Structure 1
Amino acid sequence: MLVAAGCSSDSGSDDGGDKAASASASASPSPTVQAAAYRTLPEACGVLTKKTLKDLAPKAKSGKQGSSDDVASRASCSWSSLDNNGVKGSQFRWLNVSLLRFESDTTRGPGDKLAKEYYDKQVGEVRATPDAKSLRAEALAGTGDEATAVRYDLKKKEGTFKQQTVVARVENVVVTLDYNGAGLAGDKTPDADALMADAKKAAKEAVLSVTKANGPGAAAGSPSSAPSGKASGRPSVTPSDAASASASGKS
């Protein structure tokens, strides 16, 4: 009887320790992460002023909004400009602005950190563009928290395309602006310096639109999942596609 009582006492002591340990574990605080600064994105086709659009894509009638299942996290818009219907010497321009916003995530980290990682990846992909000629890259001041401008040439059967890409990050949002031009049907090749100056101006406007859309002192809400890094902010239309559109007379 004494032995049985002793065993019963020991067993009760173990159960109490297990319960205490369980209670202690359940009382541990959940992991937290700093909220992202920006909670939304501006309407993609409205990030540039009418004057800027007229300068960069003078023959574009309107912007074409890209498809997105969540316009508060990812959005894009493109403009195509072609004079003389692509014949008798024509100037072609194609402009695309892509916006990608990252939320803070308790597993992956703060939104601005995730945006920084994507920004670095995006710049690397642009600099590694296949068949790019005379590629030059430079840091761009005064455009968000950080920005890089890349230019290069792409030679196609329709002509030489002068490509300008500006990738910028402002807080937890990455803005990618692609702008290319070509002289088709015997027209002269556009000046790359002039195209880059226009691209830089437009990129600054797009970044400013992101800031304005979130208002002064913007603060994000509760952490949630960030957009997957697999979703690229690069345009869905390439210079080759643009050339095909030019040859068919589409604007």
Structure 2
Amino acid sequence: ELTIWFQNLKYLLILSKFLLQCQSNRWNALEMTPPIAQKQDPAADKTVKVFWLPKEVSQSHDQDSKACTLISVLLVYNCHHSKVEFSSDNPGHHLLSAFRQSIDEGNKIYGKLQYDKMLKEKYLNIPEALTAIKPSIKAPVAEWESFLYDGDLLETLYQNLRDKLELWYKRRPADAKSDANVVILANLRAVVLLFSQRNGVVTLMDSHGHCPYGAVIALVSNSSLNFLCKWYAEQLTRDTGPVSCYELSFVYCK
């Protein structure tokens, strides 16, 4: 227990230092981009604010973790119940704290599933992840709909996402207490998009490590969702190869 306490303290200190850097404007868009030759749309460079977290902050820093689906649905729960205020300028303390908590909880749940030999496959789908987190949460998290697509992620993500978002807002479940949240599953990776209509912000959270950095958070205004989709599709393709099929899962808090 003492070891876990020290690990959590170390995590908090790292995130606190990172937040201070953001708030003091020491990290601009160029400094937050990995020092690897990356060609991005010039408009996206100006519109998408990308925050590469320290290498210690990722799901796989201390272990070979496949907990990304668990972490994604836990982020939906933790951000909603922590009443995180989203900003298009930088990730605030509450968002970073929810990220750390979700990574820790997701890895713990995944480790227990492994130990108990409860994993059918290494990677969980959304229904499996929602079932697995039930003992750890106080209010239900549910999947509204899931949509499967064949096609290049870079060419189709924005249009497909926009169409289904319109459908969500037309048919939003009566018991939904949270805004829209979309888990993107592609090339054995899951990330989550958190939408805040009130603040006009979309937040992408990716718990995987990205050498030489850790996890990554990307922020845009609602009107710039197309740039975020392009940025993520390019990033995932660089990291894992071409994406020819993917899933969009809408998850919400009851």
Tell me which protein shows more helix as a share of its residues.
2
Considering the TM-score relative to the shorter chain, is it more than 0.5?
no
Larger Rg: 1
- Greater relative contact order (Cα 8 A, min sep 6): structure 1 or 2? 2
